[in-house]
C-alpha cells in the first residue's frame, strides 16, 4: 500500500501521491496545467461576420423607423402609452431570430417595461399597472400573440 507524500502522514494515497486530506498540496501542479491548457485555446468571436453585417443593417432600419415614427407624431410606449423622448427600446413581438430585420413586428417600449416583459413571470406581470394596457395594445397589433398571452394567464 502506498503512503501519502506528506511528512508524518501514514494515510493511504488518494491521488497524485497524496491522501485525501493533503490533496490541496497538488494544486500548484494542477494550476500550471490548467493555465497551459487555457493559453492554447483561441477566443471565440462574440459575433460572426454575417451577424455583424446583419446587425449593422438592423441598426440602420431601426433608426430609419424611429425617425419616421417621430415625424408622424410623438412616439409612445407600447406598454403604458406614455410619450417616449430620447432613447427608445425595441420589443420584437415575434422574437429576434427570424424577424430581426422586419420592423413591422417591432414596437417601442420603455427600457423597464421591456425588461419586465422578457424577465418576469405572468404572475408578476399581472401585478404591474401597465400590463393590461400592453395586452389591449397587443390585441390589435398581433391577435395571435394576444391569445397566447391570455392562455398563459388562464393556466394559473
pLDDT at residue 24, as a whole number: 80
pLDDT at residue 35, as a whole number: 61
What's the pLDDT tens digit per position in 42-76? 777 888 889 899 889 988 988 898 888 889 988 99
Q: What is the four-CA torsion angle of 81, 113, 133, 130, rounded to 10 degrees?
A: -100
Measured CA to CA, the distance from residue 18 to residue 29 in angstroms comes to: 13
Q: Which parts of the chain sit beneath pLDDT 70?
A: 27-41
pLDDT at residue 45, as a whole number: 80
Name which of 14, 21, 12, 16 is nearest 33 in CA terms: 16
Name which of 151, 141, 51 is nearest 94 in CA terms: 141
pLDDT at residue 27, as a whole number: 67
Domain boundaries defined on the chain: 74-154
Q: Give just the sign of the alpha carbon dihedral 152, 153, 154, 156.
A: positive
Q: Which are the contacts of 131, defined by CB distance < 8 A and separation ≥ 6?
A: 79, 125
Bin 97: left if φ > 0, else alpha if -120 < ψ < 50, else beta.
Answer: alpha
pLDDT at residue 133, as a whole number: 92
Measured CA to CA, the distance from residue 59 to residue 85 in angstroms comes to: 18
Amino acid at each position: 500500500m502506498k503512503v501519502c507524500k506528506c511528512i508524518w502522514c501514514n494515510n493511504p494515497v488518494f491521488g497524485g501521491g497524496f491522501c485525501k486530506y493533503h490533496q490541496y498540496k497538488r494544486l500548484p501542479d494542477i494550476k500550471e496545467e490548467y493555465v497551459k491548457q487555457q493559453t492554447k485555446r483561441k477566443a471565440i468571436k462574440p459575433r460572426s461576420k454575417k451577424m455583424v453585417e446583419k446587425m449593422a443593417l438592423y441598426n440602420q432600419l431601426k433608426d430609419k423607423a424611429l425617425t419616421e415614427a417621430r415625424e408622424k407624431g410623438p412616439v409612445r410606449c407600447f406598454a403604458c402609452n406614455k410619450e417616449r423622448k430620447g432613447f427608445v427600446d425595441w420589443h420584437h413581438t415575434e422574437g429576434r431570430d427570424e424577424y430581426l430585420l422586419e420592423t413591422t413586428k417591432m414596437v417601442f417600449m420603455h427600457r423597464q417595461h421591456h425588461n419586465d416583459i422578457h424577465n418576469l413571470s405572468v404572475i408578476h406581470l399581472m401585478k404591474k399597472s401597465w400590463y393590461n394596457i400592453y395586452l389591449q395594445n397587443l390585441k390589435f397589433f398581433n391577435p395571435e400573440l394576444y391569445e397566447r398571452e391570455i392562455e398563459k394567464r388562464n393556466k394559473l
